[in-house]
Each structure stands twice: as C-alpha cells, then as structure tokens.
Amino acid sequence: MNSPNHMPADRSLTAPTSGCPMALSRGRVGLDVADEISELRDGGRLGRITTAFGQEATLITRYDEVRAQMADSVVFNVAGVPSPPALVDGGFDTESVRRRRTVGNLIMLDPPEHTRLRRMVAAWFTTRRVERLRPRVVEIIDAALDEMERSGPPVDLVAMFAKTVPITVICELIGVPEELRERYRRRAERAVSASAVSTPLDELRRLREAGWVSRELIEYHRENPSDDIIGMLLREHGTDSHDDGITDDELVGLANALLIAGHETTTQMLSMGTLALLRHPDQLALLRDDPSIVAGAVEELLRYVGVLHGGFVRVATRDTRLGGHRIHAGELVVPALTAANRDPRLLTDGDRLDITRPPTSHVAFGHGVHFCIGAPLARMELREAFPALLRRFPGLRLAVPDSELEFTQGTTVYSLRGLPVTW
C-alpha cells in the first residue's frame, strides 16, 4: 500500500495535478469559489491540499467525480483514514484518540456500524416527522424576529437570528435543557472554528473539548425520562445486552454529531443565504413575495452558497479510477463540494444565483450513505425562516459596507463572523 501522505509518481492522469498543496479553506473568496479551484475543475485536473490535521490529500472538484467518490463507501472509506502525522510523531495513543473521535459519530463511521446507528434515529428525520415540527419551528422563528424588532436596528443577524433559530430547534429535538444551551452553543462553535495559525494538534485538542453532550447529560435523561431523541434512545436502545443496543459512549458520540451538524451548518446557510439575497435584490423580492418559489429558491441557495468547503476525508482502499484519474490504494481524497455544485457539466452558469432555475441534484448535503440525515429538517427551517425574515423586514439591508464583512477561512464550516443589518 502506498503511503497516504506521498503521492505516487506514475499517476497516469488524463491531466496533471496542481502544484504545491493548498488549504481547502482558501478555496473561497466571499461567496465565490476561488479561481484556483474553478480552474482545476474546468481543466479536468486533480488538486493537492493539506488538511487541518496536516495530511496531504488529493482534491477532486468535478461533480461526477465527487458524486462517485461519496457514493462508494467501500472503495473510499472514512473509518480507515490513518491517524494524523502529528499524533504519530508525538507518540500519542492513536487508537485511543481515534476511538474518541469516531465512537457513535455517524460522520466518521462506515457501514455496518454507521447503518446500525443511523437506523436508530432515522425516523426522527423523515419528511413526515419533520412536518410535525413545523408549527414549533415557526414559533421559534417568530420569537427570534420579535426580539430583533424589539432591539431595533442595526443588529447582527448572525447572533440574533441565524444562530438562535437552529440551536433552539436542534436542542429541543435532541434533548438539551434550556439552561445549558448557551454554554453548549459556545462549545459547538469550537467544533467548527479554528485559528488561522492553529496546528494539527490544536485542531485535535479543539475537537476533543468541543462536545456538547456528556455522560452527565445522559444520566440526567436516564433519571428524567423524556420524549426527545436522547430519551427515545435510552428507552428503546439503552442497553448493550442485545444486538440493537447502544452504549453510553455511542449515545454521547451520536448525539454530539447530530447537534453540531444540525446547528452550525443551518446557522451559516441562514447567514450567507441572506447575504446572497441582499446582494441580489431582485432575487430577494421574488423570494419574499412569491410563496410558490420558496422550495426551489432554498435548493438554489444551498447549491450556490455552500457552507462546507469540502466533504470529509476518505482513503482509497484499493487502486481505482475517478473519471479519467487513477487513484492509488492508501491515497486520501477530499471532494470540493461548492466547486462541484457549480460545475458547468451540472448546470449552465453555475456561478450565478438564480432562484427561479429548476432545482439540481446538488451535493450540499453530501451523497451516498453519509448523506446528511438532517436534510429534511434543515430544508424545512430554511423554507420557513427566509420568507419570514424578509416579510417582517421588507427594507432589510446591510448596515455596513459589503467590503467590511469577514468570512472565516480556517474553519470546517464556512461562515460569516457577523452580518450587521438594518431596515
């Protein structure tokens, strides 16, 4: 097996790779895809990147290649990605670290473990179940808008609306008591935030400290039975005495994965989706005034905005091909999701926002067995939140020059530091 951190010389590509490795977080300029990434995609080339954990990987950017890679969890494996060099070189117990990062975490598991745990919570995220949550979600949205109105302009839309709605929804669904949510929100932010000068060890330490759900919270629910996800898992699967049981460690990991994934990504879709609309007033007016286009508009915003720089790192378990490219066993591969969503082979003029275009099969929620389990919930929240915001504040506009907005460049989830607005 070839070392995953050293690319073989005889790649036999249809087109060459790019030169020196880059950080994928540098692949965005505002809401646009950086020219370097677009040129890789349009030229049919592979890229080289360095992950936040210091591993060199191959970057794929074309839509068909990205879909093919994410669809095949046997050839492109998540759980088999080797430990970061910083851990190995530092003499850490890599197996212990791997277990803490992966146990119960749907994102970091492959079938059959992934399938077993996903099945336990899948019923909570069906379209029918999510529809039952809609009235409560509308209440949460209206309450956040009421608070914005009471505060008066200008306000930071990120802090007062985009963060408030998703965290309240997901905490109620999972079972995080209200008095703990602000503390958990701050901890969750650390799971997706990073310093521009952080080291791979800093990243691992940050993730270790960022968990929301703890064993203490599990014990609280064990003593106080509830009808939320944690309560259901304890009631129906809370024993390892049978094949379908879930251990406390798995329950902690599963709940943390659901909370973090269900909070920060939707937060940034609300933030950056609003910014995209403010930059396109004609599109904003259409979404505000025509309820019939809301569902399609949300799909276009998901495609266009792209809150994840890329999909999660996977390792090739054998020699294979993606498109015309040879991928060698042991090679790490990362998909560039936003670039794929703007691929000219997927749609015409993909760098342009057009909320009236027919929805595409975008990969904003991933693809394959790791397709985002919370996608129906996120879609429902966005379909309610955008129109409600725009109707409540029809004169919504930026309160600062566009040039003063700051995007986080070293984060897993691409985000705005703030979005000052007035009306």
Residue 162 and residue 274 in contact, taking contact as beta carbons nearer than 8 Å: yes
Q: 239 or 215: which carries more pLDDT confidence?
A: 215
pLDDT of residue 261: 79
How would DSSP label each residue in 35-61?
Answer: HHHHHHHHTT--EEEE-TTS-EEEEE-
The residue ranges of every structural domain in the chain are: 24-395
Does residue 83 surpass a pLDDT of 60?
Answer: yes
pLDDT bracket for residue 11 (50, 70, 90): very low
Q: Does 9 have pLDDT greater than 50?
A: no
* Mean pLDDT in residue range 262-274: 92
Cα separation, 160 vs 262, in Å, equals 18
- Sequence length of the chain is 423
Helix and strand element counts for the chain (H, E): 17, 14
Contact 58, 7 (CB under 8 A): yes
pLDDT of 212 over the 70 cut: no
In the predicted model, is pLDDT for residue 307 greater than 50? yes
Least confident of 194-203, 291-300, 401-410: 194-203
Do 58 and 331 form a contact (C-beta atoms < 8 A)? Answer: yes
**118-139: string of b/e by CB count within 10 Å (b at 16+)?**
bebbeebbeeeebeebeeebee
- The DSSP 8-state label assigned to residue 123 in this structure reads G
Q: How far apart are CA 227 and CA 72, in angstroms?
A: 35
pLDDT tens-digit readout, 39-52: 999 999 999 988 87
pLDDT at 4: 37
Question: Could you give the 3-state DSSP secondary structure of residue 26?
Answer: helix
Q: Which pLDDT belongs to residue 189?
A: 59
The H or E element spanning position 412 is none
Looking at CATH, the fold of the domain delimited by 24-395 is given as Cytochrome p450 (1.10.630)
pLDDT of amino acid 285 = 97
Decide the pairing of beta strands 420-422 and 155-156: antiparallel
**pLDDT range class, residue 94, cuts 50, 70, 90:** low
Highest mean pLDDT: which of 117-131, 197-211, 226-240? 117-131
pLDDT tens-digit series, residues 333-362: 999 999 999 999 999 999 999 999 998 999
**pLDDT > 50? residue 10:** no
Q: Is the pLDDT of residue 104 over 70?
A: yes
For residues 68-72, average pLDDT: 96
Joined together, the tokens standing for residue 406 give 């700051």
For residue 331, is pLDDT > 80? yes
